[in-house]
Amino acid sequence: MNAAVTLGTLERLKQNGEKIACVTSYDASFTVLLEAAGVDVVLVGDSLGNVIQGHDSTLPVTMEDMIYHAACVARAGKSALRIVDMPFMSYASVSQALENAARLMREAGAQMVKLEGGRHVVETVRALTEHGMPVCAHLGLTPQSVHQLGGYRVQGRDADAAGRLLEDARLLDDAGAGALVLECIPSALAAQITAGVSMPTIGIGAGLDCDGQVLVLYDLLGITPGKRPVFSRNFLEDAADIPQALQAYVKAVKDGSFPGPEHSFD
């Protein structure tokens, strides 16, 4: 069995220039396969609203949904670090965030919680970490704000927006966030953020220079209903079976062959 991955492991990987491989999981069976493939981090994402529940956004996903799926993952998980999304409006206040994050850790086996947003969640991040609950932040395209953002679009393309994202990343880093997901931002901006913060960055549609990469499991296997995101790749196309596809993904992340320019934005 692989050694258990901790936050310290991710920090060492960043310092050593070794890539972090992350994939979403929502159940026990896939979690076993992901860990056997060598995935460092399993993210129980509120993307389950899209790929499992059939919604057109993550907004309908509830705390009970996240607790159920995270607990399924935790029962099977042995080595990968488990990050669990805090769903829409579950951290609207600091007190609410503390209560719900504690539930995810106590009832669902989360080892780290993930929340979306920049400077407006800094106080929440600081409170969670001060109470011993590790936080993964999330900047760029934040799916819980899809209506406010005007759809699923690349963020940070103009100078003002890029500067704001860079400042948000630094504020979150200072507040104690232990990791940062960067979604759908220009590769050059992601590289700048990655170099400017101490916490590991995990990209999705954010270029090769992030400290790691994450994909939604269903995108990685080419089974997501409808159009697959342009930043994803179907690793099952050239594999004999699912375990081989997962191994190919981990290898591609680790050796830097994924993402390519076609999976990134200028």
Catalytic residue check, 35: no
Q: Which CATH superfamily is domain 7-263 in?
A: Phosphoenolpyruvate-binding domains (3.20.20.60)
What is the rounded distance in angstroms from the CA atom of residue 30 to the CA atom of residue 72?
10
The alpha helices in the chain, defined as continuous H runs, are: 7-16, 28-36, 48-51, 63-76, 94-108, 122-130, 146-149, 159-175, 187-196, 217-220, 242-255
Look at residues 158, 170, 166 and name the one whose alpha carbon lies nearest to residue 192: 166
The token pair at 29 is: 């069976």
Q: What angle do CA 197, 198, 201 make, to 5 degrees?
A: 70
- Point out the catalytic residue in the list 11, 183, 237, 262: 183
Rounded to whole angstroms, the Cα distance separating 192 from 28 reads 36
Predicted TM-score (pTM) of this structure: 0.96
Q: How far is CA 81 from CA 43, 74, 115, 132, 190, in A?
A: 8, 10, 16, 16, 23
Those residues whose C-beta lies under 8 Å from the C-beta of residue 227, and which sit 6 or more positions away, are none
- CA-wise closest residue to 182 among 146, 136, 218: 136
Residue 166: CB atoms within 10 A of its CB come to 17
Full pLDDT tens readout for the chain, 266 residues: 578 999 999 999 999 999 999 999 999 999 999 999 999 999 999 999 999 999 999 999 999 999 999 999 999 999 999 999 999 999 999 999 999 999 999 999 999 999 999 999 999 999 999 999 999 999 999 988 877 776 778 999 999 999 999 999 999 999 999 999 999 999 999 999 999 999 999 999 999 999 999 999 999 999 998 888 999 999 999 999 999 999 999 999 999 999 999 999 99
At 1 the pLDDT is: 59
Q: What is the pLDDT of residue 226?
A: 81
* Rounded-to-integer distance, Cα 206 and Cα 266, Å: 9
Looking at residue 2, the DSSP 8-state letter turns out to be: P
